[in-house]
Structure 1
Amino acid sequence: MRSVIGYLVCLFVGLTIVFTFLPRPEAAPADDPLRADRVQVNALLALEPRVLAVGERGSILFSDNQGASWQPAVVEPQREVALTAVVALDHQRLLAVGHDGWILRSDDAGQHWREVRHDDQLGEPLLGVWAASADRVLAYGSFGKFYQSDDAGATWRPLALDIDSAHLNGMDGGEDGRRMLVGEQGLVLRSRDAGAHWQALPAFYNGSLFGIVRLSASDWVTYGMRGHVFVSHDFGEHWRQVQVGNALPLYGHARLPGGGLVIVGAGSSVVRLDARGELASATRIAGHGTLTSATMVGSRLLLGGEQGVFVEPAGNLATLDKQEAFR
Structure 2
Amino acid sequence: MKYLQNIMLSKRVRDPFVHFIFACAGIFFTTIVYAQSDALEDSSQMSDNAEHSLLMDISKTESKLIAVGERGHIVYQNAGSNEWLQAQVPVRVTLTSTFFIDDLHGWAVGHDGVVLSTTDGGEQWQKLLDGIAVNKMMINHGEKLLESTLKAIEVAGDDELDELNEALENWQFFVDDAYAFSDEGASRPFLDVWFQNKNEGFVVGAFGLILRTVDAGKSWTPWTEKLNNFDGFHLNAIEQIGDDLYIAAEAGTLFRSIDKGQTWQSLESPYEGSFFGIVGHSDKTLIAFGLRGNAYISYDKGIDWEKINTSVESSLYGGHTINENQFVLVGAGGAILHIDNKGQVIKSHTSQYKLPISSVITETAINGKPSRLIISGIGGIQTINQVSKG
Report the TM-score, using the length of structure 2 for normalisation: 0.69
Distance 1:273 1:226, change over 3 A: same
User: What amino acid does structure 2 have at the position aligned with 1:127?
Assistant: L
Q: 1:266 maps to what in 2?
A: 332
Q: Verify: 1:221 aligned to 2:235, yes or no.
A: no
Which stretch has the larger CA shift, 190-199 or 287-296?
190-199
User: What amino acid does structure 2 have at the position aligned with 1:303?
Assistant: I
Distance 1:118 1:290, change over 3 A: same
Q: Is the 8 A contact 2:213 2:219 kept in 1?
A: yes
Inter-partner Cα distance in structure 2 for 1:242 and 1:208: 16
From 84, 103, 106, the counterpart of 2:96: 84
Distance 1:175 1:255, change over 3 A: closer
Q: Verify: 1:238 aligned to 2:304, yes or no.
A: yes
Q: Secondary structure at the match of 2:66?
A: strand
Q: 2:235 maps to what in 1?
A: 168
Q: Secondary structure at the match of 2:125?
A: strand
How far off its partner does 1:36 sit?
4.7
How far off its partner does 1:207 sit?
0.7
Inter-partner Cα distance in structure 2 for 1:56 and 1:260: 31
Q: Displaced runs of 4+ in structure 1, greater than 4 A? A: none
Distance 1:321 1:269, change over 3 A: farther
Q: Verify: 1:136 aligned to 2:200, yes or no.
A: yes
Q: Verify: 1:300 aligned to 2:369, yes or no.
A: no
Q: Verify: 1:96 aligned to 2:108, yes or no.
A: yes
From 230, 254, 263, the counterpart of 1:197: 263
Inter-partner Cα distance in structure 2 for 1:36 and 1:288: 20
CA RMSD of aligned residues (A): 2.1
Q: Secondary structure at the match of 1:185?
A: coil
From 51, 58, 63, the counterpart of 2:77: 63
How far off its partner does 1:236 sit?
1.0
Q: Verify: 1:184 aligned to 2:255, yes or no.
A: no
Q: Is the 8 A contact 2:50 2:73 kept in 1?
A: no
Q: 2:274 maps to what in 1?
A: 208
Q: Is the 8 A contact 2:235 2:249 kept in 1?
A: yes
Q: Is the 8 A contact 1:221 1:229 kept in 2?
A: yes
User: What amino acid does structure 2 have at the position aligned with 1:42?
Assistant: M
Q: 1:26 maps to what in 2?
A: none
Larger Rg, first or second structure (1 or 2) = 1
Distance 1:96 1:184, change over 3 A: same
Q: 2:157 maps to what in 1?
A: none
Tell me the percent identity: 30
- Unaligned runs of 5+ residues in structure 2 are 1-45, 133-184, 365-370
Inter-partner Cα distance in structure 1 for 2:328 and 2:374: 11
Q: 1:309 maps to what in 2?
A: 381
Inter-partner Cα distance in structure 2 for 1:51 and 1:148: 26
Q: 1:25 maps to what in 2?
A: none
Task: Count how many residue pairs are aligned between Structure 1 and Structure 2.
Answer: 284
User: What amino acid does structure 2 have at the position aligned with 1:223?
Assistant: F
Q: Is the 8 A contact 2:242 2:283 kept in 1?
A: no
From 137, 141, 145, the counterpart of 2:209: 145
Inter-partner Cα distance in structure 1 for 2:323 and 2:289: 20
Q: Verify: 1:115 aligned to 2:127, yes or no.
A: yes
User: What amino acid does structure 1 have at the position aligned with 2:346?
Assistant: A
User: What amino acid does structure 1 have at the position aligned with 2:214?
Assistant: D
* Larger helix percent: 2
Inter-partner Cα distance in structure 2 for 1:66 and 1:305: 23
